[in-house]
Structure 1
Amino acid sequence: RNILSNAEAAAKTISFYEEDVLVPFTGGYVLSMLVDIAIAFHRSFDDLRMIEPTLIVSAARLYEYAYGQIKAQLLRKPWWMRCMFKYTVDMGWRRFEYQQGRGKRHPDFLLWHLLDMLIAKPVRQRFGGRVRCAFYAGARLSFEISRTFIGLGMPILNCYGQTEAGPAISVNRPDDNLPASVGKPLAGVNVRTEHETSPMPPFKGGCGELLAKGPGVMTGYWNNPAATEAVLDSEGWLHTGDKVHIDAEGRIFFIGRMSDIIVMQNGEEISPAEIEAEISADILFDHAMVIGKGRPFLTALILLNKEYWKKLAKQLKLNPDDLSALREKSAKEAVLARITKRLSNYSAAVQIRRITLLTEPWTVQAGLITPSAKLKRTNLSMRYAEEIEQIYSTLA
């Protein structure tokens, strides 16, 4: 009942057609059967060209991977082609904002069909060329990546949920898509916040734990009443453990897991997920984990992409295969400069002061990330406890 009611509510968020094909990277199996559309299973990202899906349900990692490929190719193109790509993305984003009722019409929209054919369409062809709804959930996707794909005509729709809720709680719709949010609740799902705290930038209103209630919410954990009681109250509200802001129009803005929020030495609260997503949008980095709980400033563990680390090391005249190169001052300064540039629009409180460079892969098998590429912070903190302590102990 939970899963079916959730799929039925999700089916009301978009229209479905006979020619639709769904690729479920992370879910949507019940939904496809409910609305009677084809479902196709992939072996790799490259299979999308052959499958030509119209609908995709995936984790953010899919778009991070594709974005990395695009950026890598752009680096090999002449400057004027990189400028043309940026102009196309900028124009596409303005068109999107206009279509969503949040922007003005611009005369240069007349050039869109030409730029779409030359620049945007080849990118969409990587996904098969027919995608009209690309849902993603799980780990946060940086605004830069969302803006790039949306600007190229890829309708990326952020959504949010938990297994205990069936799983979807909220979703952005094609005609009501605000990428900074995780959308409005599904039909039949009620939400509210509890234990509200003072506003966290950029939100002006209070932020608190998200509570959800509806037919998709579970009745409890199997044979575990203690765990059930910890998340389900007597009125049937599911305590998600996620900190959010809900605006006047009912949109949910995900801030982060309450257990992940960093409370710094001065009492300031920082959500690491957004900062990490912004850093990881750089093709030099595979992952980043921000650290700073109870500390005077933020630092980060940075997992380098081996291919691009080799290129950077060569520029710095370092041996990329020598682990000691990761500790070289020139390497840390070069990487930190890239991070600082990416965070230039953020407040001083969230700037990264020091970093630890790593090349050892963070894998599911090692227990360092989840299958949807979310960081297992406790395990990572234990694995690199010595490196973390060294960062802070060597600074005044």
Structure 2
Amino acid sequence: MTTLTRTEEPFEALPRPGTLLDAFERTVGLRPDRTAVRSHDGRLAYTWAELADRVAAATAGFVAAGVTRGDKVALLVRNRPEFYVVDLALVRIGAVPFSLYASSSPEQHAYALADSGAVGIVVDPALQRGLEGVDLPVLRVQIEGEPAPGWRSLADVVDAGAGTAIDALPRPEPDDVATMIYTSGTTGAPKGVLLSHQNLLTCAEATLTTQGIAAGTVTISWLPSAHVGDRLGGYALPLYQGLEVVTLDDPRQVVAAVVDVRPGYFYGPPRIFEKLRASFDSWVLGLEPDRAEEVRAALRRGQERVEVEQAGGTPSPELREATQHDRTGVFRPWLESVGLDRLRTCVVATAPNPGPLMSFFHVLGVPMGEAYGSTESSGGGTAATPGAIRIGTVGTVSTHMELRLLDDGEVLLRGPQIMKGYHGRPEATAAAVDADGWLHTGDLGSLDADGHLSIVGRKKEIIISSSGKNISPVTVESAVLSASPFIGQMCCVGDGRPYTVALVVLDAEYARGWARQQGRGELSLEELSRDPEVLAQVEAGVAAGNARLNRPEQVKRFRVVPGEWLPGAELTPTSKMRRSVILDKYADLIEEMYA
């Protein structure tokens, strides 16, 4: 394992800058020789001063190429240091850079380019094939390599701009659009969400001050830059506070990257942490019996402490001392082996997070909190404050924001983080943000007496059974997923049906680890999905989950389907479930469960 030496810096709350450009220039002045961004593979790294030099050169190049204030420019670029050069250069001009998902189809790329009116596109050569047959803007730039016919290299654009004056360029204003992020399009055609500099910076300020993220903290940019999670956590926060960003160009390798990087700040959807939890269970399976029992005893002690703290009590000095020893001793080898030993801030967002998963990481001493927001709210809305995390909630309303619930439970947000609107869609904007400035999120929630928000589902995803019972699929899935390490993913079905059924996908890592421990390591994941012993374990998990649910919610039948659900197919690029895709794919199997 690579040994890293880092100097822990104290958190300092910096004044909120007016624009992303102001934030960038301030950080360059404060930390010129510190690392700004580096690639996980070690290929490239920039200090803040080096990044500033490259941004200035690229700015001149894009000006010479004809890009002007307000122009939309598409970026189909993996997470890599060059992204920051291009994006910040366009921001300096006052243009509007927006990212395309690498997993999108050519038809989806064509839609975004046409809808945005993009004047240019910048691509990573590895993703260029995804543009075959697409009508492209005139300005076409490749990040590296020999340019294809009709394309220019970024180096050529930069060289052609040498000598072009940029000092007189008008500076962006706080209310100017800084970026556009397209929605997933699961409920209709994708819409371009227009986010201003102040939208992003007020959200960044709230996150930094709530979480106490210090300058120099290392984080990983791994979510697609087309997602608000990375636009905030991997871009706005680092520019504002001077974080060190490690870029990962293959998000499928994020768990391995965490091992190498050992971040101080990490953010992501629950699926990543479910994989880590499965890794822990596999680790325990491989221990000698006495050592495994020591770990299980430590887990029991830790769970006792978490339950006392969550109930508002104070653990006894003996319990605190014992569990602190467990965290720094018993659990330490595993925490080091998966790269979580230097974690100071951990935020789970973008998808529902089962409470038992949170409890598990709190037992280990991992400072895991939840946050809630949407693209339309710049990724912000609520957040858990370290030291006051209430498991099962997504925290309290963020700094500068207001929150209210309608009578049907829909969550409304208002504040400076709310988008400027949808690009070219005034009617859709008016439908999403009412005349009083409230964003209607479409999410259903509840508030406890202390203002902690719990999200119970999506308004449009609520299942109404044939007997008229309202069922939140998220509630059902969370209860069952947390009941068995064998269950990796699950989709609850039951709209208009007499009872609830489920499609289940095995947790690949845990199932394979179990098979090896049983001396059956030769079994494939598909074979394991049909194995009677595995099915019995899944059935026990479903039964345990059902015990936490009321009768209409309980899963009456289930089927284990082979393989894994992956981003770009059954999942969105950020691992949210595409229910309509899953329901279509397994329509026959679903009908079989109701036969």
Whether the TM-score (by the shorter chain) exceeds 0.5 is yes
Q: What secondary structure sits across from 1:61 in the alignment?
A: helix
Distance 1:313 1:294, change over 3 A: farther
Paired position in structure 1 for 2:373:
161
Q: What secondary structure sits across from 1:195 in the alignment?
A: coil
Please say if 1:255 is aligned against 2:456: yes
- Native 8 Å contact 1:24 1:58 kept in 2: no
Cα shift at 1:140: 1.9
- Native 8 Å contact 2:402 2:415 kept in 1: yes
Please say if 1:272 is aligned against 2:484: no
Paired position in structure 1 for 2:335:
124
Q: What secondary structure sits across from 2:422 in the alignment?
A: coil
Give the one of 242, 245, 249 matched to 1:36: 242
Q: Deviations over 1:179-216 (max 9, x none)?
A: 210001111111111133xxxxxxxxxxx000111111
Q: Deviations over 1:75-129 (max 9, x none)?
A: 2334443443233233334445656771232233332343233322223322241
Please say if 1:380 is aligned against 2:582: yes
Distance 1:132 1:212, change over 3 A: same
Cα shift at 1:8: 1.7
Please say if 1:56 is aligned against 2:266: yes
Tell me how far apart the structure 1 counterparts of residues 581 and 206 of structure 2 sit (CA, whole Å). Answer: 36
Cα shift at 1:381: 0.9
Paired position in structure 1 for 2:94:
none
Tell me how far apart the structure 2 counterparts of residues 49 and 357 of structure 1 sit (CA, whole Å). Answer: 31
- Native 8 Å contact 2:200 2:378 kept in 1: yes
Paired position in structure 1 for 2:566:
363
Tell me how far apart the structure 2 counterparts of residues 51 and 331 of structure 1 sit (CA, whole Å). Answer: 35
Tell me how far apart the structure 1 counterparts of residues 591 and 310 of structure 2 sit (CA, whole Å). Answer: 47
Tell me how far apart the structure 1 counterparts of residues 445 and 311 of structure 2 sit (CA, whole Å). Answer: 24
Give the structure-1-normalised TM-score. 0.86
Give the one of 310, 335, 340 matched to 2:543: 340
Cα shift at 1:138: 1.5
How is 1:1-396 mapped onto 2 (pairs within 5 angstroms)? 1-26=198-223, 27=230, 28=233, 29-42=235-248, 44-96=254-306, 102-106=312-316, 107-125=318-336, 126-196=338-408, 208-281=409-482, 282-305=484-507, 335-366=538-569, 368-393=570-595
Q: What secondary structure sits across from 1:44 in the alignment?
A: helix
Equivalent AA in structure 2 for residue 261 of structure 1 = I
Tell me how far apart the structure 1 counterparts of residues 355 and 384 of structure 2 sit (CA, whole Å). Answer: 15
Q: What secondary structure sits across from 1:40 in the alignment?
A: strand
Distance 1:83 1:345, change over 3 A: farther
Cα shift at 1:134: 0.4
Distance 1:284 1:325, change over 3 A: closer
Cα shift at 1:380: 1.0
- Native 8 Å contact 2:282 2:510 kept in 1: no
Equivalent AA in structure 1 for residue 355 of structure 2 = F
Tell me how far apart the structure 1 counterparts of residues 297 and 528 of structure 2 sit (CA, whole Å). Answer: 38
Distance 1:33 1:70, change over 3 A: same
Larger Rg: 2
Distance 1:337 1:226, change over 3 A: same
Cα shift at 1:22: 2.3
Distance 1:274 1:77, change over 3 A: farther
Tell me how far apart the structure 2 counterparts of residues 306 and 50 of structure 1 sit (CA, whole Å). Answer: 22
Q: Which shifted more, 154-163 or 368-377? A: 368-377
- Native 8 Å contact 1:54 1:133 kept in 2: yes
Q: Can you give the 5+ residue segments of structure 1 that lack an aligned partner in the other structure?
A: 197-207
- Native 8 Å contact 2:222 2:254 kept in 1: no
Question: What percent identity do the matched residue pairs reach?
Answer: 25
Cα shift at 1:329: 7.9
Q: Deviations over 1:190-243 (max 9, x none)?
A: 1111133xxxxxxxxxxx000111111012100012322221111111100000
Q: State the number of aligned residues.
A: 379
Q: What secondary structure sits across from 1:235 in the alignment?
A: coil
Q: Which shifted more, 181-190 or 104-113? A: 104-113
Equivalent AA in structure 2 for residue 33 of structure 1 = L
Distance 1:113 1:279, change over 3 A: same
Tell me how far apart the structure 2 counterparts of residues 133 and 170 of structure 1 sit (CA, whole Å). Answer: 16
Tell me how far apart the structure 2 counterparts of residues 183 and 325 of structure 1 sit (CA, whole Å). Answer: 39
Tell me how far apart the structure 2 counterparts of residues 66 and 34 of structure 1 sit (CA, whole Å). Answer: 30
Equivalent AA in structure 2 for residue 8 of structure 1 = E
Q: Can you give the 5+ residue segments of structure 2 that lack an aligned partner in the other structure?
A: 1-197, 224-229
Tell me how far apart the structure 2 counterparts of residues 45 and 309 of structure 1 sit (CA, whole Å). Answer: 18
Tell me how far apart the structure 2 counterparts of residues 307 and 3 of structure 1 sit (CA, whole Å). Answer: 37
- Native 8 Å contact 1:100 1:175 kept in 2: no
Q: What secondary structure sits across from 1:173 in the alignment?
A: coil
- Native 8 Å contact 1:21 1:38 kept in 2: yes
